[in-house]
Amino acid sequence: MIHSDFLSTVNRTAYDVAHGYVKDALNGGLIQVPEELNKHCTVYIGSNGIMSCSEDLTKWMLMQLGDGRSQSGAEVLRASDLRQTHIPQTVIQSSTVEKNFHRPLASFTVTETGYAFGWKTGHYKGYQMLRHTGTTFGYSSLVTLLPDVNIGVFTTMTGYDNGYIGRTLLHRRGTFHQRNDRVLVSGALVPGQALHAQTDQ
């Protein structure tokens, strides 16, 4: 993973880093988030504000779904250690996403019932689901893994996504095109561009 960095140290001239935007409460338009604000606030973010690209996140998701092994087969983490990070450690009392994604409000149900080591755990259409969100001023990301069917989805966008609604809808749209092979859909959302898709057989 050579194109990943931290929000506090990323070199915006060396990488093609999108600027974050938030809604202007006064006039309803979008305003660019000052880079220094995010650099300062990363000390309060649990993940230290990791910034990455679809290629690197695809490799990371494949490792998560591949029992701790890289695409080349090298062991990055012992499978038993990786599985420990996916086991819920605490119960989620009230899930933001469940308020909007259950029947009859939606044609499918997403549940988040536990929290593991950085992962919200639950189910999507009855399949085990692991999710990790990333939100800071002007940026919103989501990784969803469905280990039962070896599917992973990653989206990242500039702007604010209240209640994870936009990200959850995008992940629902991108899944279950193949069930037998490991399918990953990942990418940065850019108007007019398709998401990067990779199939690993």
Each domain of the chain, given as residue ranges in start order, spans 52-200
Q: Which residues contact 50 (CB under 8 A, 6 or more apart)?
A: 4, 5, 6, 7, 134
Quote the CA–CA distance of 39 and 57 in Å, as a whole number.
22
> Which residue ranges of the chain lie beneath pLDDT 50?
174-201
pLDDT tens digits along 151-185: 888 888 777 777 677 777 666 654 443 333 444 44
Q: Are 61 and 145 in contact (CB under 8 A)?
A: yes
Strands 182-188 and 151-158: parallel
Torsion of CA 87, 90, 92, 97, to 10 degrees: -30
Quote the CA–CA distance of 139 and 45 in Å, as a whole number.
13
Question: What is the structure's pLDDT at 178?
Answer: 38
Q: What is the pTM of this model?
A: 0.71
